[in-house]
């Protein structure tokens, strides 16, 4: 089925959300990089998400599930098929005692603020992590030690067949930057977090300290996908890249940040190919010098 017919098909079924044709992915990633998606669907609720997935399955249409694109690098040729984007339309947050029940499109920073407003401690580490709660669960996001797995009790997901399933913390198979979501290409729709009662001023002070640490050490003023590489066992990717002499290395408008070597940043009009070239140079140099294979943390999708 060609993209125009796919577009028409989804317009017949998606009423609360939006359907976009040839949508530039650079508008939907923090990297500000990426060619067009044939069709992008912005579902209005959980029912429309399941409907969109089933339409793709029934018509053998390739599809990709994305949040707000914080750790995404889309290729310059873009994405063939359908992108189902879950963000603002699924952002309800409820606080029940020491529990927070939030939809997957909620920004992690907003969920953390809700915890602060109710004097709940345990989520401070996530206050400065960009992206949605769903994306944070998918990759078991963490910072300065704690990870999402430390506070999650239940996760509701939609599987590849469009069925809603619920998993406990143990069933999520959390590990470093990994979860069951990645294993089975699930889509997170709602998360239950268990926090503890704390002191508002102490929680706010800690969050402010972490914010200060991020803003002074990370290149937040430039587009990127966050940490480009996963942390190798017993070391840090940023340290290895720095010692290898790659700080500030530039190819086109892609650059190994001269502020934090763990980030590859977009200086203006960087292409996916430029970023991928830098990733390969960094990987080869670090492997040659230290015998360590750096694994990308950034998710790369699209036609190559």
Q: Which residues are catalytic?
A: 177, 227, 297
N residues, the chain:
304
Are 196 and 120 within 8 A, CB to CB? yes
Contact 221, 255 (CB under 8 A): no
DSSP percent split of the chain into helix, strand, coil, nearest 5: 35, 30, 40
Give the whole-angstrom CA distance, residue 55 versus residue 49: 10
**DSSP result, 23-82:** EEGGGGSTT----EEEEEEE-SSHHHHHHHHHHHHHTT--EEEESS-TTEEE-TT-EEEE
Residue 251 CA to residue 68 CA, distance in Å, equals 26
Cα separation, 125 vs 116, in Å, equals: 12
CA-wise closest residue to 65 among 190, 181, 187: 187
Alpha-carbon distances of 103 from 93, 107, 166, 280, rounded to whole Å: 6, 9, 13, 36
**Could you tell me the strand order of the sheet in which 18-24 lies?**
18-24, 36-42, 79-85, 63-66
Torsion sign across C-alpha atoms 272, 274, 275, 279: positive
Q: Quick one: CA torsion of 32, 35, 37, 41, rounded to 10 degrees?
A: 10
CA dihedral sign, ordered 218, 225, 151, 102: positive
């Amino acid at each position: 089925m060609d993209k125009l017919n796919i577009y028409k098909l989804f317009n017949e079924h998606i009423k609360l959300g939006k359907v976009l044709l040839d949508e530039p992915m650079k508008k939907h990633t923090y990297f500000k990089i990426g060619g067009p998606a044939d069709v992008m669907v912005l579902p209005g609720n959980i029912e429309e998400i399941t409907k969109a997935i089933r339409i793709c399955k029934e018509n053998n249409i390739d599809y990709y599930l994305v949040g707000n694109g914080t750790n995404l690098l889309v290729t310059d040729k873009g994405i063939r098929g359908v992108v189902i984007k879950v963000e603002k339309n699924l952002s309800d947050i409820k606080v029940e005692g020491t529990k927070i029940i939030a939809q997957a499109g909620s920004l992690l920073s907003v969920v953390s603020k809700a915890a602060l407003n109710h004097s709940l401690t345990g989520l401070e580490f996530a206050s400065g992590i960009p992206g949605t709660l769903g994306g944070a669960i998918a990759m078991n996001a963490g910072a300065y030690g704690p990870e999402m797995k430390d506070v999650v009790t239940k996760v509701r997901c939609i599987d590849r067949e469009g069925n809603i399933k619920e998993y406990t913390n143990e069933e999520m198979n959390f590990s470093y930057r990994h979860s069951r979501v990645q294993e089975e290409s699930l889509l997170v729709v709602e998360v239950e977090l268990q926090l503890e009662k704390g002191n508002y001023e102490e929680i706010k002070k800690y969050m402010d300290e972490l914010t200060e640490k991020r803003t002074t050490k990370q290149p937040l003023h430039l587009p990127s996908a966050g940490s480009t590489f996963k942390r190798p066992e017993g070391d840090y990717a940023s340290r290895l890249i720095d010692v290898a002499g790659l700080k500030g290395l530039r190819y086109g408008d892609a650059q190994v940040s001269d502020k934090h070597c763990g980030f590859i940043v977009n200086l203006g009009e960087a292409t996916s190919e430029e970023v991928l070239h830098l990733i390969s140079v960094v990987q080869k140099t670090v492997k040659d010098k230290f015998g360590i294979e750096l694994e990308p943390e950034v998710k790369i999708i699209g036609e190559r």
